[in-house]
Amino acid sequence: MSDFQGVRAVVTGGASGIGLATARLLAERGAAVAVLDLSPGELPPPLRGFTADVADDGSVRAAVAAAAEALGGIDVLVNNAGIGAAGTVADNDDAQWHRVLDVNVLGVVRTTRAALPHLRASVRSRPGATAAIVNTCSIAATAGLPQRALYSASKGAVLALTLAMAADHVREGIRVNCVNPGTVDTPWVGRLLDAADDPAAERAALSARQPTGRLVSAEEVAAAIAHLASPAAGSTTGTALAVDGGMQGLRLRPEPAA
Ligand code: NAD
């Protein structure tokens, strides 16, 4: 497929996991892609890496400007960089709350703020086409998960911000949507499993929590992000697309005993 031919895309947190799978897929489908990450390292060609910390406004502005210059503009922004946190509301101190909200929520704000002039220019230069923002949210925004108070609060804010941004920019031709992944098999989840007392049992429990009985793949989330970013989704804005193996929407009866 080459539906992203001529499209210029920026993906934050694009050096690993969901972001890397998204950057690769957009490039495969014809986009010119800039990856913004803490240290992008060696990226598979033709991806171009730019160092950026979404918790630092100056760093984001410089990286977005450099990416726009290298790509010749920005038509698609994927706000994907994020960090996790475990615990109940009593377990994280104020510094941890500030840190996670700074990366997960204000990171979206900073990158979008820096990219908006480029997205507006994209709309002006391509009559009839929309520009698109896709935020990586989480099932933690819509379902109560144990031991995820801070992380869930951050992703709940991303969901609300997605809707507010969609309303603010719809008349400018900029669409804003998010994906809500369940548990995805990425290096992040690999680190969580490694830290568990019994990694195999933990993986089995996380897999069983999703009605499909397995973890979501990064490629499946990337496909959903690419759909929302693509011209085919020109009438889709202000939505959250679940990519969670049915975890949010389905209520199954227990499997009958064999
Ligand atoms: P990952 O750890 O594999 O990749 C995250 C990337 O973000 C890394 O390359 C990291 O360097 C980058 N990053 C972190 N902080 C950054 C910062 N301050 N500035 C710039 N880049 C930064 O994780 P992943 O599982 O691919 O997660 C990506 C996104 O998906 C996150 O927003 C996460 O909340 C969300 N998510 C993940 C899952 C899951 O189960 N893995 C589920 C739902 C949502």
Rg value, the chain, Cα = 18
pLDDT tens per residue, range 97-113:
999 999 999 999 999 99
- What pLDDT, on the 0 to 100 scale, is given for residue 228? 98
Q: Is 151 a catalytic residue?
A: yes
Please tell me which residue in 68, 151, 177, 180 is annotated as part of the active site: 151
- Please provide the DSSP assignment of 201-218 as one string: HHHHHHHHHSTTSSPBPH
Whole-angstrom distance, CA of residue 50 vs CA of residue 214: 34
Residue extents of the structural domains in the chain: 8-181+216-243, 184-214
7 lines ligand 1 (CB under 6 A): no
Q: Ligand 1: distance of its center to the CA of 211 in Å?
A: 24
pTM: 0.98
Q: Which CATH architecture has domain 8-181+216-243?
A: 3-Layer(aba) Sandwich (3.40)
Strand duo 240-243 + 131-136: pairing = unpaired
Sheet holding 131-136, edge to edge: 48-51, 32-37, 8-12, 76-79, 131-136, 174-181, 240-243
pLDDT of 136 above 90: yes
- What pLDDT, on the 0 to 100 scale, is given for residue 257? 84
pLDDT of 163 above 90: yes
Mean pLDDT along residues 150-154 = 98
Quick one: which atom of ligand 1 is closest to the CA of 189? 41
Quick one: which atom of ligand 1 is closest to the CA of 137? 44
